[in-house]
Amino acid sequence: MSKEDSNPVITVADRGPYIVVNLNKFENLHGRKYLLKPVMSLCRCGESKDKPYCDGAHNSIEIDWEKNSERTEYKWKNYVGDEIIIHFNLSLCSHNGACRDNLPEVFNLDSRPWINANGSSIGNIIETIKKCPSGALSYTINNQKFTEYNYEEPIIKASKKGPIEVLGGVELKDPKGNKPEVKDHYVLCGCGWSKNKPFCDGHHLEKIKEQK
Ligand code: SF4
Ligand code: FES
């Protein structure tokens, strides 16, 4: 078997689950291991009773499987500091709050602009940006742009409430042609409510609120 044949791959099934092959690390957002199978189907509609795995629920529900024209506009904004430029694209954000929670001096939703690229040390800012799973944050130093973060190995971290974080370079095959912004980290929608499918856009938070 060639190396390519043993690399992990996710295929987006038409009106169905994510089919995952060759994955070696699969856990929840808190690091608890999930059962690994050589071929796994992960829930994409959000209605499986066996999440994160698919139980066939998608066959009996109606959801919008495609990108929605009302999704957030794809637009990069630059936040320029003395030594670093932080790039942010709201349309890619999965709203997990890792930036805000880890470095509120820089990422503060109550401030305008909400990102202050001079708010902390370069080291702290880079460390925090590397915690962003979605590709919504990147940075430039000395005219060199950094978008990929060199994870040790491919890993999928799935939340039963929706987001499926795909880190470390897992190839995504989507017959509809959708590609992640950054190959080595992206977040897939597992709740069925994203307007930017197959990627998460944070709408699982509204779904969770509605189901309370
Ligand atoms: S996905 Fe990235 S930009 Fe969005 S809240 Fe999380 S860390 Fe911040
Ligand atoms: S998991 Fe569906 S929008 Fe985030």
pLDDT tens-digit series, residues 65-78: 999 999 999 999 99
109 lines ligand 1 (CB under 6 A): no
201 lines ligand 2 (CB under 6 A): yes
H-helix or E-strand spanning residue 41: strand 39-42
Which atom of ligand 2 sits closest to the CA of residue 163?
1
pLDDT of residue 11 exceeding 80, the answer is yes
Atom of ligand 2 nearest to the CA of 192: 2
Q: Whose atoms come closest to the Cα of 45: which ligand?
A: 2
pLDDT value, residue 89: 98
Alpha carbon distances (Å) from 5 to 1, 2, 12, 13, 166: 6, 5, 18, 19, 19
DSSP structure class, residue 103: -
Nearest to 181 by CA among 143, 144, 138, 150: 138
| Per-residue confidence (pLDDT) for residue 150, from 0 to 100 | 80
How far is the C-alpha of 163 from the C-alpha of 29, rounded, in Å? 9
What is the average per-residue pLDDT within 116-145?
98
Question: What pLDDT is attached to residue 100?
Answer: 97
Question: For residue 151, is pLDDT > 90?
Answer: no
**Minimal CA–CA distance to 23: which of 201, 197, 172?**
172
Ligand nearest to the CA of 192: 2
In the three-class reduction of DSSP (H, G, I as helix; E, B as strand; rest coil), residue 92 is classed as helix
Q: Give the confidence band of 1 by pLDDT, cuts at 50, 70, 90.
A: low
For the stretch 62-114, pLDDT in tens is 999 999 999 999 999 999 999 999 999 999 999 999 999 999 999 999 999 99
Tell me the C-alpha distance between 5 and 141, whole Å: 36
Q: Say yes or no: CB of residue 81 within 6 Å of ligand 2.
A: no
- Please give the distance, rounded to the nearest whole angstrom, from the Cα atom of residue 171 to the centre of ligand 1: 21
State the distance from the centre of ligand 1 to the C-alpha of 21, rounded, in angstroms: 27
CB of residue 194 inside a 6 A radius of ligand 2: yes
